[in-house]
Chains A and B, each alone.
Chain A
Amino acid sequence: MEIAVDVGGTFTDLICVHDGQLAVTKVPSTPRDQSVGVMTGVERLLRSVSRGPRDITRFVHGTTVAINTILERNGASVGVLMTKGFEDTLTIGRQTRSDLYDLFLDAETPEFLAPRRQRTGIDERIDFQGKVLVSLDEEGVAQAARRLKETYHVESIAVCYLFSFLNPSHELRTREIINRQFPDLRVVLSCEVDPIFREYERLLLTLFEAYIGPRVDRYLSRLEQQMAAAGIEADLQIIQSRGGITSAALARERPVNIIMSGPAAGVVAAISVGQSLGDSGRLGASTRNLISLDIGGTSTDVGLVYEGRPLVTNEAKLDQYPVRRTMIDVSSIGAGGGSIAWISAAGGLRVGPQSAGSDPGPACYGLGGQRPALTDASVVLGFLDPDYFAGGLVKLDGDAAHRAVEKIASPLGMDILNAALGIHRVVNANIADQIRVATIKRGYDTRDFCLVAGGGAGPVHGGVLAGELSIPWCVVPAMPGAFSAAGLLVAPVEHENSRTFVCRLQDGDAVASQIASVFEGLTKQGDLQMERDRISRSRVKVTRSCDMRYAGQSYELEVPLGGEISLQSLTKAVDDFHARHDLVYGHRKTGVDVEFVNFRTVHSCYFPPLASSNPHRGRSLGEARKGTRRVYFGEFVDVPVYERSWLPSSEETITGPAIIEQADSTTVLYPGQRCIVHPSGNLLVGGLCQKE
C-alpha cells in the first residue's frame, strides 16, 4: 500500500492506493508540530481501509516546514563567517532595485537571516586560481564561534569564503574547528551547498540552508521516530522543490532542496490531471497548458504547466530573494478558506493574509473562532452545506458563520448576504491578480490554458476565476481536496547532480575521456542516492546534460547529451548548442569556441499513473440530484444539488446555477456557467468568458 501525506496550513490531506483503489482522508494540521497531524491522519486512513502500519510499502510526504520557516521569519539564529572585508555582502547584494521609480521602496536583501552583529569576518583568502593567499586564522574562527554561540546563541553557522568553490580547504577546516568546540552546532559550507561563483548568490543559498536546517531536521527526525513507533517500516520520502522525490535522510542533509516541497506537488498533480483529459481538442485550450490552482485553508498556490512540462526555474525568487536552485515555479499568497475578513483603517473590506487556520478555524467550525473567514462567507451564501463539509467530518455551525459575518456587515453598511458576497469578491480578485502575475504578466495568454482547481476550496472559486481571466475551462479533478497528495504519488524519485568542469573540444583528444569520467562520477553519486532511496537499478533512468556557452559569455544554455560520451556525441552537443542558441537568442556565432561548463545527471524513477480514479459511478444526472438549496448569487436562486459520485460516467452537461458536492470539496456553478461531466472523471466548468 502506498500512502501520501500533504500538509497544508489548515488541513493535512492523505491519500492511499491499495489494490488499485484510492482512499482519501483529511485531518486538521498541527502547525506547532506537523507530525502530530500527519500521524493522526495516517491512523485514520489505515482504519478506514482496514489495514495496518506494516502494509505501508511507500510513504511520500510534502511538507511546508521549510517555506513556512522563511515566510514566518522564525528560523534558527544564524551566525555568518565570511572572508574579512565581506561581512556586509548580505546587506549589499548586487545593489540594484526592482522598481526604478519608487522613492519609498524597501531593502531588497534578506538581512533578517542574520543581523549585522552576528556576521564576522575571518582572516583568510584564497585567490581566483584556488591558491591560498592568506592562511586561515584558526584562532579567529574559534573565537568567533564562541562569541556567536555564547552571546547570540546561534543554532547554526553559515560559512562563505571567497573562491571556496575552487579550494574548499578553509571552509572544511572551519567546520572542524567549530565542531571541535561545539559538536552539535550545524555548520553549513557554501562549497557544499552551491559551489558556483558569485559570492552574494552563493551566500544566500548557504544562509537559507543554515536558517531552515535546524527546524527541518527536528521535524523530520520527530516524524521518522513517530512512524517507527507506530510500526511503519516504509522509509519516509519527501518531495523536493524541483518536483522529484527523495529520502528524508537526503532531504535533511540538503534542506534547501525542499523549500518548495509542498507546493511542487500541486503542479505535478495538475500534469496528471491534464494527461487524464487526453487530447480534448474541443476544449479550445490545450490540456498540455495548465494553471494549477490549489486553494487550501491558509494559502493559494499557483503554478504553470506549459506544453506538458512544469515551469521550472533556476533563478527562482523566494519571497523576492534570488535562490540559485532548480525548482518548480510556484507562487503563493495568503488566501484560503480560513482567511479572515477585516476592515481597513480607510473603511475598505480586506481578506487575509491572516488565517484562522484549523484551530480555532473559521467561526462555523464552532471551535471558538469569532472572526469571519472565507469559509463562513461560503456557508452564509449557501455554497457549502454545514452538514456535509469534508464529507460530514466537520459539522459546521451555520449560525456562528452568520454571527461572524454580521460583525463586518454592519460597519460596512451592508446586509449579511452582501457582506459575504463581498468577501468572495475580494478573495477572487486577489487570486485573479496572482494568476495574472503568473501568466499574463509573463506573456502567457490565459486563453490558451485550462485552470485545474485543487484544494478543498478550489472548485468553489475556480469557475469564477476562469471567467474573470478568460480561461476557457476550469477542470475539477476527481479528488480536488487531496489534489496535492495525489501529486506526491505520481511524482518521480529524482536526483540531480552536477559538477563544474570548464573545457572545450579544441583542448585536445583527452577531453572526451575527461568528460566521460566526470559523468562517471556523477552517475555513481546518483546511483548511490537511488540505492539509499531503495530504488532498484533497473527502474532508474539517467539523463545527462551539459551547460554550454560561447567562450566569453557568462550565461549558459542547457543541452541534453545522449548516447555514449565520445568525440562524436560531444560534437553533436556543440551543434545542438548552436541551434538552441539560435532558437533562444535569435542568432548563432561562428568562429567562436563553445565551452562546456557544468555537467549534470538526473536520475529518475517514474511511477505509473494512478489507477482509474473516475469518481462518477451513477447512471443519469437525475439520479445524482439529491436536492435543492437556496444559494445567494446577488439574489437568491433555488439551485439543484448533485452528489458527485452519483454522476454518470458518460458525458453529460449540467447547466448553472448548480452545486455539486463530494466528500472533499464542493463545486459551485454560477448562473450562466455550464459543467461537462467528462468521461475522464473530471468536471469541466466553462461558460463565463467570451471565447470557449
Chain B
Amino acid sequence: MSIDPVTLEILRNKFDMVCQEMQTVLVRSAQSTIIKEALDALNALFDTQGQVISQSISIPCHLGMVIPAVQRILAEFPPDQMHDGDIYTMNDPHDGGTHIPDVFVVIPVIYGGRAIGVAVCIAHQVDMGGKTYGSKAMDATEIFQEGLIIPPIKLYDQGKRNDTLFKILERNSRIPQMVLNDIQAQIAGCTIGKRRLVDLCERYGVETVLQAKDDLMAHSELMTRQVIEKMPGGTYSAVGYVDSDGVELDKPVKIQLAVTIRGSEMIVDFAGTSPQTKGPINSTYGSTVSAVYYTLRSVTDPTIPNNAGCFRPIAIRTSKGTVVDPVPPSPVNARMPTVCMVGDVMLEAMAQAIPHKVAAVSSSTCGPGFGGVDPLTGKRFMFMDFVAGGVGARPMKDGIDSRDSGAGNCHTLSAEVIEMNYPIRVNQFGLWEDSCGAGRYQGGLGTIKAYEVTRGELTLIHQTERQFQGPPGLLDGEPGSKQETIITRRSGQIEAVPSVAVRSLREGDRLVVKAPGGGGAGNPRDRDRQAVLEDIADGRVSAAFARDKYGTASG
C-alpha cells in the first residue's frame, strides 16, 4: 500500500500538531510552575512496538527518556491486553524511568477493537516525597532517600480509578493537591492525543495512518543515514569531567566516549567512563540515551522529521554499574549535570570529525530550586528556576547571549511570577559581562540571576555544573567562564555553593547564580575589530577583556 504524498505530508504535520495540542492541554491545566511556566514536560505518540511517531517541541533530553519507559509499559501491559479506559503510570528510575519527579502517564489508543498506539506524557511533578523538597536530595546516597518509587502500574483499569494508588500518592507528597492535579493534567493531555489519533483513523483510515507512520520512520532513517554516510569514517574520542557527585566533593567524575562512524552507522561507546557514584548525579540508561540522541539530531540534519527512524542507525554501548548506566539502589535525582556532560563530550568528539558543522560547547545545566512554607499563606511550595548561560560560538558566527541549549529548553521564570507566588524577590536578571569564550567568533554571554528571600526559611536545591572548567571552545576558541554561585547571608557572611548541593536560606539572605558564557570558535586573533568595539560600546565586554583577549586598545 502506498500513500499519496499529499496525505503523507498532511499526516506528518497532523502527528506533530496532535503532540503540540497535548502539550498545550497539559501546560494549561497544570498548577505547578515547573510545568506551566518552565514547561518541563513532554508529550508524544508511540506505536505499539514502542517506536516514537512524533513528539511535542519542548525539552530535547526528554526525547530519549520517554522511549525506555514506553517500552517498559508495553512489556508489562502487552498491546493485546490493553483496553479502552486503561491508564498506565510509572516513575521507577531504575526500571525505565529518569528520576523520581518525572512521572509517566501512558494511555492506549484503541481503534477497531485493537491497540494501535499509545499517547504518552512525561512531566516533572513538583514533589514526590523523599528527604528533600522536590524529591531533589542533592546529597542522597540511595534512591530510597529520593522519594516514592512507582513501578509500571495501572492508574485506571478500563475506566476504574485505582484509588489505592491515588491514596498512596497523596500521602507521600509535600504538596499532594498539586501532584494530583498535575497527574490529571497529564491524563487530560494524553486523552486529547488519544481522541485526535482516533479522529485521524476515522478520517483517513486506520491502515493509512499506520502505514504513514511506518513510511515516515523509514524516511527519517534514510535521511539520517545519508547524513552519517557523508561524515569521514573513523573513531573519535573525547573526555570530560562532571564537577562532583554532590557527596564526594573532591572527586571529579569522568565521562569518556568514542564515536565510531562506519558507513551509514554510528556507534557510541562509553568505555572508560567512571563507575556509578555515591551521590545522585548518576544518569539512568534512558537519560544517557537521550543525551546521545539529541546530540545526534543536532549533528545530522535538524529538519529531518523527528521519529524512531532517526535512531535506527545508532548503537549505544554502556556498562552496567557506571555513572551512565547505574544499577539500584544508586541515587539519580541530580542527573542533569551528567546528561549535559555526555552531550558536550559527544559534541567535542564530533568536532574532530566535522569541525565546521558543530558549535563550541554551551553553558551546562543551571537550575536552582526553592522549597518551604510561605509564612504569608501558610502553604508549602516548591519550584525550580532555570538560568541558561551563553550558547557556544559557531564556526561562522558568534554564539547567542543567555539562551538555553543542548539538553535543556526550559522557560526561565519571570521575576514577577516568582515574586507573586513565592517568598522570593529577584533583584537582578542580566547578562554576565566578560563571561564569553574569546574567539574569532565569540561565545554568547552568560547570565546572572540574583534572588533574595523575603519571608521565612526555605531549602535551596542547587544543581549546576562547570565550576571547574568553562564550556570548551572550538577550533582554537577559548572556553567560556566557569559557573559560580554565592550566598550572602543577612549577617554579611559570604559562602560559595558547590555545583550539586542543598542549603538552607532565611529571610534577608541573598543568592547570586551565574551561568557560564559559551565557548569561542576560531582563533581570537582573527576577531573582527569593529565587532570588538561594538561589544565594548554595549558593555558586553570590558576594555580590559578586549585588550587581554583581542589586543584591542580601549576606545
Interfacial residues, chain A to chain B (CB-CB below 8 A)? 85-89, 91-92, 94-108, 115-117, 127-128, 162-163, 197-200, 436, 440-443, 445, 470, 552-555, 584-587, 589, 592, 690
The one of A115, A117, A440, A592 that contacts B13, using a Cβ cutoff of 8 Å: A440
Q: A87-B430, A586-B188, A586-B195 are in contact. Are A115 and B31 (CB under 8 A)?
A: no
Q: Are A95 and B430 in contact (CB under 8 A)?
A: no
Which B residues touch A554, using CB under 8 A? Answer: 36-37, 417
Task: Tell whether B412 is near chain A: CB-to-CB under 8 Å.
Answer: yes
Q: Chain B nearest CB: distance from A81 CB in Å?
A: 15
Q: Are B429 and A95 in contact (CB under 8 A)?
A: no
The one of A97, A104, A107 that contacts B404, using a Cβ cutoff of 8 Å: A97
Q: Are A96 and B539 in contact (CB under 8 A)?
A: no
Q: Chain B nearest CB: distance from A574 CB in Å?
A: 17
Chain A, residue nearest B295 (CB): A101
Which A residues touch B403, using CB under 8 A? Answer: 95-97, 107-108
Q: A91-B401, A95-B388, A587-B191 are in contact. Are A101 and B298 (CB under 8 A)?
A: yes
Chain B, residue nearest A689 (CB): B6
In Å, the complex CA distance between A96 and B412 comes to 8
Q: A86-B415, A97-B404 are in contact. Are A441 and B13 (CB under 8 A)?
A: yes
Q: Are B29 and A553 in contact (CB under 8 A)?
A: yes
Which B residues touch A436, using CB under 8 A? Answer: 9
Q: Are B400 and A105 in contact (CB under 8 A)?
A: yes
Q: A91-B402, A163-B416, A198-B414 are in contact. Are A103 and B13 (CB under 8 A)?
A: no
Q: Mark B23-58, 1 if CB is under 8 A from A, else 0.
A: 001011111000011010000000000000000010
Q: Mark B3-30, 1 if CB is under 8 A from A, else 0.
A: 0101001100110111001000101111
Choose the segment among B256-264, B420-428, B462-470, B502-510 that binds chain A (4+ C-beta atoms closer than 8 Å): B420-428
The one of A96, A107, A440 that contacts B9, using a Cβ cutoff of 8 Å: A440
Chain B, residue nearest A86 (CB): B429
Q: Are B415 and A585 in contact (CB under 8 A)?
A: no
Q: A104-B397, A555-B28, A586-B25 are in contact. Are A85 and B294 (CB under 8 A)?
A: no
* 15 A-B pairs (CB sep. < 8 Å): A85-B427, A85-B430, A92-B402, A96-B411, A100-B60, A103-B302, A103-B359, A199-B416, A441-B13, A441-B16, A552-B178, A552-B181, A553-B36, A586-B191, A586-B195
Q: A91-B431, A100-B57 are in contact. Are A443 and B17 (CB under 8 A)?
A: yes
Q: A128-B420, A197-B416 are in contact. Are A103 and B358 (CB under 8 A)?
A: yes
In Å, the complex CA distance between A128 and B537 comes to 34
Q: Are B409 and A198 in contact (CB under 8 A)?
A: no
Q: Are A95 and B431 in contact (CB under 8 A)?
A: no
Interfacial residues, chain B to chain A (CB-CB below 8 A)? 4, 6, 9-10, 13-14, 16-18, 21, 25, 27-31, 36-37, 39, 57, 59-60, 178, 181, 184, 187-188, 191-192, 195, 294, 297-299, 302, 357-359, 386, 388, 394, 396-397, 400-405, 409-412, 414-417, 419-420, 425-431, 447, 450, 537-540
The one of A85, A445, A586, A592 that contacts B429, using a Cβ cutoff of 8 Å: A85
In Å, the complex CA distance between A89 and B411 comes to 13
The one of B412, B415, B537 that contacts A162, using a Cβ cutoff of 8 Å: B415
Q: Chain A nearest CB: distance from B193 CB in Å?
A: 10
Which B residues touch A107, using CB under 8 A? Answer: 400-401, 403
Q: A103-B358, A198-B417 are in contact. Are A440 and B386 (CB under 8 A)?
A: no
The one of A96, A115, A442 that contacts B410, using a Cβ cutoff of 8 Å: A96
Q: Are A96 and B431 in contact (CB under 8 A)?
A: no
In Å, the complex CA distance between A552 and B36 comes to 10
Q: Are B416 and A92 in contact (CB under 8 A)?
A: no
Extra 6 A-B pairs, beta carbons < 8 Å, given A86-B428, A586-B25:
A85-B429, A88-B430, A128-B420, A554-B37, A585-B28, A586-B192
Q: Are B302 and A100 in contact (CB under 8 A)?
A: yes
Q: Are A92 and B429 in contact (CB under 8 A)?
A: yes
Which A residues touch B419, using CB under 8 A? Answer: 127-128, 162-163
Q: Chain A nearest CB: distance from B38 CB in Å?
A: 10
Which A residues touch B31, using CB under 8 A? Answer: 552-553
Chain B, residue nearest A85 (CB): B428
Q: Are B188 and A96 in contact (CB under 8 A)?
A: no
In Å, the complex CA distance between A104 and B9 comes to 26
Q: Are B409 and A97 in contact (CB under 8 A)?
A: yes
Q: Chain B nearest CB: distance from A464 CB in Å?
A: 15
Which B residues touch A470, using CB under 8 A? Answer: 6
Which A residues touch B21, using CB under 8 A? Answer: 443
Which B residues touch A99, using CB under 8 A? Answer: 302
Q: Chain A nearest CB: distance from B253 CB in Å?
A: 26
Which A-B residue pairs are the 8 nearest by beta carbons? A85-B428, A443-B17, A101-B302, A116-B538, A101-B297, A88-B430, A555-B28, A552-B31
Q: Chain B nearest CB: distance from A370 CB in Å?
A: 33
Which A residues touch B29, using CB under 8 A? Answer: 553, 585, 587
In Å, the complex CA distance between A100 and B403 comes to 12
Which A residues touch B420, using CB under 8 A? Answer: 128, 197
Chain B, residue nearest A88 (CB): B430
Q: Chain B nearest CB: distance from A609 CB in Å?
A: 34
Q: Are A95 and B60 in contact (CB under 8 A)?
A: no
Which B residues touch A91, using CB under 8 A? Answer: 401-402, 431
Which A residues touch B538, using CB under 8 A? Answer: 115-117
Q: Chain B nearest CB: distance from A440 CB in Å?
A: 5
In Å, the complex CA distance between A127 and B17 comes to 40
Q: Chain B nearest CB: distance from A406 CB in Å?
A: 35
Q: Chain B nearest CB: distance from A311 CB in Å?
A: 14
Which B residues touch A89, using CB under 8 A? Answer: 429
Q: Chain B nearest CB: distance from A459 CB in Å?
A: 23
Which A residues touch B431, using CB under 8 A? Answer: 88, 91-92, 116
Most chain-A Cβ atoms within 10 A of its Cβ — which of B14, B37, B403, B447?
A: B403
Chain A, residue nearest B303 (CB): A102
Q: Chain A nearest CB: distance from B223 CB in Å?
A: 13
Q: Chain A nearest CB: distance from B63 CB in Å?
A: 8
Which B residues touch A85, using CB under 8 A? Answer: 426-430, 450
Q: Chain B nearest CB: distance from A554 CB in Å?
A: 5
Chain A, residue nearest B300 (CB): A101
Chain B, residue nearest A585 (CB): B25
Q: Chain A nearest CB: distance from B306 CB in Å?
A: 8
Q: Chain A nearest CB: distance from B464 CB in Å?
A: 15
In Å, the complex CA distance between A91 and B25 comes to 29
The one of A95, A102, A103, A197 that contacts B402, using a Cβ cutoff of 8 Å: A95
Which A residues touch B294, using CB under 8 A? Answer: 100-101
Q: Are A92 and B10 in contact (CB under 8 A)?
A: no
Which B residues touch A199, using CB under 8 A? Answer: 414-416
Q: Chain A nearest CB: distance from B533 CB in Å?
A: 12
Q: Are A106 and B416 in contact (CB under 8 A)?
A: no
Which A residues touch B409, using CB under 8 A? Answer: 96-97, 100
In Å, the complex CA distance between A411 and B57 comes to 42
Which B residues touch A552, using CB under 8 A? Answer: 31, 178, 181
Which A residues touch B188, using CB under 8 A? Answer: 585-587
Q: Are B425 and A127 in contact (CB under 8 A)?
A: yes
Q: Are A94 and B14 in contact (CB under 8 A)?
A: no
Q: Are B405 and A97 in contact (CB under 8 A)?
A: yes
Which A residues touch B187, using CB under 8 A? Answer: 587
Q: Chain A nearest CB: distance from B331 CB in Å?
A: 28
Q: Are A443 and B195 in contact (CB under 8 A)?
A: no
In Å, the complex CA distance between A115 and B59 comes to 30
Which B residues touch A162, using CB under 8 A? Answer: 415-416, 419
Q: Are A95 and B192 in contact (CB under 8 A)?
A: no
Which A residues touch B427, using CB under 8 A? Answer: 85
Q: Are A96 and B404 in contact (CB under 8 A)?
A: yes
In Å, the complex CA distance between A521 and B117 comes to 53
Q: Chain B nearest CB: distance from A126 CB in Å?
A: 10
Q: Chain A nearest CB: distance from B182 CB in Å?
A: 10
In Å, the complex CA distance between A585 and B189 comes to 7
Most chain-A Cβ atoms within 10 A of its Cβ — which of B187, B397, B427?
A: B427
The one of B36, B184, B394 that contacts A103, using a Cβ cutoff of 8 Å: B394
